[in-house]
Chains A and B, each alone.
Chain A
Amino acid sequence: MTPIEEFLQILITLDVWLLAKFFVLLALLAYIVFAFLILREAELMNKTLNGVFNAPIRVVALFHLIFALFVFILALVIL
């Protein structure tokens, strides 16, 4: 079997949903980085402008990051 035939064989037998799971997890990993950046941004903003609304903003930023982690774990488990 030539290398090209081997590659075609892999493509034919590859589980599409496994590939989809891989890309979903990759997207979610990128989103977790984004959520972490938002948390950092919120902290930076709170430092720049300190007011009474800082605590709720930090809580929401943390919740967003935790939610992103939860979705990643959910995708990892059920997909």
Chain B
Amino acid sequence: MRFVTWDLGKIKIFPMPDIYISHPDEEEKKTEEKEEKEKTSFPQSKPLARFLARIGARPASNPLAAFLALPEKVKFETQEKKEEIILLLRRHWVTNLAWIFLALLMIFAPLSLKTLPLLESLPPRFRLVAVVMWYLFILGFVFEKFLSWFFNVFIITDERIIDVDFYSLVYREICQAKIDKIQDITYKSGGLLKAIFDYGDVYIQTAGEIQQLEFESIPQPVKVVKILNQLIMEEEQEKINGRVR
């Protein structure tokens, strides 16, 4: 930038001192960094969020994840207004490998009909319906298995722990226990797969009507136990401070 001064009829042009020069690239970079930081970190205002960040529990971004910390867009049926979901857990995705493998085999099974003429004795119209029915059954099988994995969840809120189990098409069982009723927490992680993929079972003994809640094959059981311990401590602190909700 320049400014102009008059000097004895001559025009002199001096370069204008730069007060502020905008660097759009740097600004964009800063904004991106800030957004990225916001995405990968919890709001630091809450002690529990700070604790979650400290133990390395990342904020939930993938709705299909098996370990969701502070999921924002998830609500459950009996959730109270001020109740906050701390953790939403599903069985580790590795536990799905068996049925995924079976489904893949089933998908490609009709290709074997070229070498193994199993349906040769049927008229062509029956063969067509048989293959279409086969894929319909595969869709039903895969969808049912997925639903069973996706909705059999363990929820830890700031007030209670909830175990949602769907046993069959129309039968469900929802067990819950207050955090302050937890007496003992045990976790078990044994076996090659569990050691490699860091998943295991967490057993929670309670003083309530339901004596034990079982979180089976959940990812990062150590972190889950740490979070539960922290919640128990916070609950005790709340009791001491007289802020029981």
Contact = CB atoms under 8 A, between A and B. Distances in A.
Interface string A57-76: 10011001001100100110
Contacts of B123: 17
B125 A78 contact: yes
Interface string B43-67: 0000000000000000000011000
A2 interface: no
Contacts of A44: 170, 172
Interface residues of A, number: 33
A37 B128 CA distance: 26
B147 A49 contact: no
B139 interface: yes
B133 interface: yes
B144 A51 contact: no
Determine chain A's interface SS by DSSP, over half rule.
helix
A49 B71 CA distance: 12
B108 interface: no
Interface residues of B, number: 31
A34 B137 CA distance: 11
A57 B150 CA distance: 10
A53 B63 contact: yes
B139 A41 contact: no
Interface stretch (B29-37, B73-81, B199-207, B235-243): B73-81
A79 interface: yes
B143 interface: yes
Contacts of B74: 49-52
Given A53-B64, A53-B150, A48 B136 contact: no
B50 to A, nearest CB: 25
B164 interface: yes
B147 A42 contact: yes
Interface in A32-55: 34-35, 37-38, 40-42, 44-45, 47-53
Interface string B150-163: 11010000000000
Nearest to B71: A51
Given A17-B126, A75-B129, A51 B172 contact: no
B169 interface: yes
Contacts of B133: 24, 27-28, 71, 75
Given A17-B123, A53-B64, A40 B151 contact: no
The 6 lowest CB-CB distance pairs between A and B, nearest first, are A45-B151, A51-B74, A50-B75, A53-B63, A37-B169, A78-B125
